[in-house]
Chain A
Amino acid sequence: MKYLPLIWSGLWRKPGRTILIFLQVSVAFALFGVLQGLKTGVAHAVDVARADLLIVHSRLSSIAQPLPLGLLEQIRTVPGVKVAIPVELTDGTYQKPDQGIGIVAVSPEPDWPSAFTYTIAPAYVAAFRKSRTAMLVKDSVAQKYGWKVGDHIPLQLAVEQRNGSNGWAFDVVGTFTDSDIGGGRYIVLVHYPYFDEARLLQKGTVNHFNLAVSDPKLANRVADAIDARFANSSHETKTESLREMAQSSLQRIGDFDFLIRAVVGAVLVALLFATTTMMVQSVHERTPELAVVKTVGFGDRAVFLLVLAEALAVFLAGAVCGLMLATLVLPFAARFVPGLSMPGVVIIIGLALGALVALVSAAIPAALAARLKVVTALGGHRAA
């Protein structure tokens, strides 16, 4: 502890240099935090994804191949299925072509919210059931456009009405939140029966069915039973839990692992080099002072540790600052890349990495300082 003032005064010998190194370390670890947060955040999202919610979609594609609504009755008879709700998806815009809104049409049957990751107030659920043109809007949509309960909202949908028009209108009856981070930022819920009746094409089809199973342990067995039931039919299905879907999206960004590693590697190499030369420079300039420190009785090892401790202090302060910055920036970056988050493990890895880079970059200057010969250093070799 008694060495702390010594380390402190060493750090502030040249404040400008220390602050610049500190900033450089902060910037490097802010980037590290964001990139690593991208990777670890998605892994974290898989862990929290619900295993008891299943999605039944076409085996051909989860994106665009519709399933007939008629499958619903058969799905409901599979043992273990608690709730099964047909879901249709389409795109829409509000007022301007660049204000996109995802339309999720669901059948408001009893207990339907239990088959989704949405959280909806019971009063809103009741209101939604009552009117065919009712619409529940996600909180982020309501915020962005200032929609309130009772508003009548015209939307342009990618789907035509029977009269050939793409203009639709729905009444806002409430808001909801979504615990699934991959669920889309700007989505609204509308009535499937009304939507299907009013549209021109592809009547009687759905994009997928949402299921809740009575016991998460049954999820795999229910999924296999459903897929077996429609095997070799013209509408083969593929049933997956939200957990499994999160896992496959994790694998899809697998290619980014290499990229993230390469960028983090380049950042650390540049940082290592910059700090090493700065520390060497600093030790050179302080040759007389270090000689005095040795003269008053500090051993080689103590001087070595002193220089290391200085580097460690700057690096850890910089790493903490950078990681905090990353934590602050992430909510903005998450707008572009869904699933971004900063679990504690990233911070621990970052601090460990900061300490490691500090020790490696300070090793040469510290060894130089430790090997100083007091007599020659005091004898006029100043500011080499």
Chain B
Amino acid sequence: MNFIRQFVALLRLSLSSLTSRAGAVLTIIIGVTCAVGVLVSMLAMGSGARRQVLAGVREDRVVVNSHGVRGIQSSIPRDAADTVRDLPGIKKGSDGKPIVEFESVVPIEARRRVTGTQIFFPLIGITGAPFSDADPDMHLTGGRLFQPGLHELIASNPCVRQFTAFGIGDKRAIGGVDWTIVGHFDEGDTQQCIVLADAEILMSTFHNNTYTQATATLQSPAAYAVLQSALESNPTLHLEVQHEREAREEGIRLLDNLLNFAAYFVGSIMAIGATLGAVNSLYSIVDARRREIATLRAIGFGSAPVAAAVLCESLLLALPGALLGVLLARALFHRMAVSPFGFSFLLDVTPGLAVIGVAWALAMGLIGGLLPALRAARVPVTTALRAT
């Protein structure tokens, strides 16, 4: 009880004299602000990429790939398509047909608008009608849909913004054939360039007899096991099924890990720097108050409350830095479009990241305050009082 009373009195005393030590206080706050701001901004890349990739994921949708292969290397022979459609567990649409869509993906090159840099983006051939799915985020913003059987493309709006030759009516030579852009569409917040075409005409252009992957809607999430065992028991198919969420997370994992590694690597080094600055500032605060602390000790304050008060002061000084850092990151970088490694998305400063930033700052305050708190607790009463 006595400890708490002394601690509160000491804390109030030191906080009331903060303004006279503006330099040291600002050093701590600015150091923590920079460290937290950089960490949160860099983590926002990973969370932005994840948010974009996982947007519109449905729990009852599954992805079928060839066994052990992912993405563009996967292949489903055309003659296996009917077998896949007839697999158990797949939901039937209002027309009585199973809801299974096949995709044929071909990477195409494009040139950046500003720099002229070459970049690859997927041209996706689809078997169903685009946007027919209950996906309200995806809608046409200009032109019309492509017609099956014609060399026509529709491109998402990020393509138009980022790359050349995606205007409506523009022609692109792909696979030795001229394709015409006939429409533009938006897909939520997605910054990735996506171009859609009719799967049949795309596959015939490339003399390709395999789809890349299939997406199916399940009767219920529980039907997953039924579909999985049906696929496994059919040795001629060489296919495997994954939840849509799982498949998409797998696709982003490498980028996500890389971005998070970079964020924590840079964030840790900056935190070490900020902690060192905080230690130095707190030492100078403690040193400037040696006589004050010695006087308090002389009139009966214990060394434990003195140390606790310094530690608490350090934590309290780190907090405004954390909030400032998170706010700056949000104000400057939230929803900023970036494209590292050719993958475009919006940065996303989420509340979760703010919590990480605050926790990071508190760790800096705690570690930075330890040594100065010990020094304050060990101020020798007699010599400190005698010193002029």
Q: Which residue numbers of A lie inside 8 Å of B, CB to CB?
A: 16-17, 20-21, 23-24, 27-28, 30-31, 35, 59-65, 156, 158, 160, 164, 166, 201, 232-234, 236, 248, 251-256, 259, 262-263, 266-267, 269-271, 273-274, 277-278, 280-281, 333, 336-337, 382
| Residues A31 and B107 in contact, CB atoms below 8 Å apart | no
Q: With A24-B277, A60-B175 in contact, do A278 and B73 touch (Cβ < 8 Å)?
A: no
Interface string of B369-388 (1 = CB under 8 A from A): 00000000000000000001
Give chain A residues whose Cβ lies under 8 Å from the Cβ of B119: 252
Give chain A residues whose Cβ lies under 8 Å from the Cβ of B38: 262-263, 266-267
In the bound complex, CA of A341 to CA of B332 (Å): 31
| Residues B31 and A64 in contact, CB atoms below 8 Å apart | no
Give chain B residues whose Cβ lies under 8 Å from the Cβ of A62: 120
Q: Which residue numbers of B lie inside 8 Å of A, CB to CB?
A: 23-24, 26-27, 30-31, 33-35, 37-38, 41-42, 67-69, 72-73, 75, 106-109, 115, 117-120, 174-176, 206-207, 235, 238, 258, 261, 265-266, 269-270, 272-274, 276-277, 279-281, 283-284, 338-342, 388
| Given A254-B117, A263-B38, 10 other A-B residues pairs in contact with their CB atoms under 8 A | A20-B276, A20-B279, A27-B269, A31-B269, A61-B108, A65-B106, A234-B207, A262-B38, A270-B31, A270-B277
Give chain B residues whose Cβ lies under 8 Å from the Cβ of A21: 280
Give chain B residues whose Cβ lies under 8 Å from the Cβ of A271: 273
| Residues B269 and A30 in contact, CB atoms below 8 Å apart | yes
Of all chain A residues, the one with the shortest Cβ separation from B41 is A262
Best-surrounded residue of A62, A156, A263, A271 (most CB of chain B within 10 A): A263
| Residues B27 and A158 in contact, CB atoms below 8 Å apart | no
Of all chain A residues, the one with the shortest Cβ separation from B266 is A263
Give chain A residues whose Cβ lies under 8 Å from the Cβ of B274: 270
Of all chain A residues, the one with the shortest Cβ separation from B338 is A255
Chain A binding site: helix, strand, loop or mixed by DSSP?
Answer: helix
| Residues A27 and B273 in contact, CB atoms below 8 Å apart | yes
Best-surrounded residue of A27, A61, A270 (most CB of chain B within 10 A): A270
Give chain A residues whose Cβ lies under 8 Å from the Cβ of B23: 277, 280-281
| Residues A274 and B31 in contact, CB atoms below 8 Å apart | yes
Give chain A residues whose Cβ lies under 8 Å from the Cβ of B73: 64, 158
| Residues B34 and A270 in contact, CB atoms below 8 Å apart | yes
| Residues B27 and A61 in contact, CB atoms below 8 Å apart | no
Task: State how many angstroms separate the Cβ of A206 from the closest Cβ of chain B.
Answer: 15
| Residues A24 and B258 in contact, CB atoms below 8 Å apart | no
In the bound complex, CA of A16 to CA of B276 (Å): 11
Give chain A residues whose Cβ lies under 8 Å from the Cβ of B265: 333
Of all chain A residues, the one with the shortest Cβ separation from B31 is A270
Give chain A residues whose Cβ lies under 8 Å from the Cβ of B269: 27, 30-31
| Residues B176 and A256 in contact, CB atoms below 8 Å apart | no
In the bound complex, CA of A270 to CA of B30 (Å): 6
Give chain B residues whose Cβ lies under 8 Å from the Cβ of A336: 258, 261
| Residues A24 and B107 in contact, CB atoms below 8 Å apart | no
Chain B binding site: helix, strand, loop or mixed by DSSP?
Answer: helix
Task: State how many angstroms separate the Cβ of B193 from the closest Cβ of chain A.
Answer: 14
Task: State how many angstroms separate the Cβ of A223 from the closest Cβ of chain B.
Answer: 15
Partner of B72, one of A59, A63, A262, A263: A63
In the bound complex, CA of A59 to CA of B172 (Å): 13
Partner of B270, one of A63, A158, A256, A266: A266
In the bound complex, CA of A28 to CA of B31 (Å): 12
Give chain A residues whose Cβ lies under 8 Å from the Cβ of B107: 60-61, 63-65
Give chain B residues whose Cβ lies under 8 Å from the Cβ of A166: 67-68
In the bound complex, CA of A60 to CA of B104 (Å): 14
| Residues A281 and B24 in contact, CB atoms below 8 Å apart | yes
| Residues A20 and B280 in contact, CB atoms below 8 Å apart | yes
The contact sample of 16 A-B pairs, CB cut-off 8 A, is A20-B277, A31-B269, A59-B109, A61-B106, A61-B120, A63-B72, A65-B106, A160-B238, A164-B235, A267-B38, A269-B34, A270-B31, A274-B30, A280-B23, A281-B284, A336-B258
| Residues B283 and A16 in contact, CB atoms below 8 Å apart | yes
Pick the 5 closest A-B CB pairs, nearest first.
A61-B107, A277-B23, A274-B277, A270-B34, A20-B280
In the bound complex, CA of A63 to CA of B106 (Å): 10
| Residues B31 and A267 in contact, CB atoms below 8 Å apart | no
| Residues A158 and B276 in contact, CB atoms below 8 Å apart | no
| Residues B342 and A252 in contact, CB atoms below 8 Å apart | yes
Give chain B residues whose Cβ lies under 8 Å from the Cβ of A267: 34, 38, 270, 273
Of all chain A residues, the one with the shortest Cβ separation from B70 is A158
| Residues A61 and B109 in contact, CB atoms below 8 Å apart | yes
Of all chain A residues, the one with the shortest Cβ separation from B75 is A201
In the bound complex, CA of A23 to CA of B175 (Å): 59
Give chain B residues whose Cβ lies under 8 Å from the Cβ of A232: 176
Give chain B residues whose Cβ lies under 8 Å from the Cβ of A160: 238
Give chain B residues whose Cβ lies under 8 Å from the Cβ of A280: 23
Partner of A269, one of B30, B68, B115: B30
| Residues B117 and A234 in contact, CB atoms below 8 Å apart | no
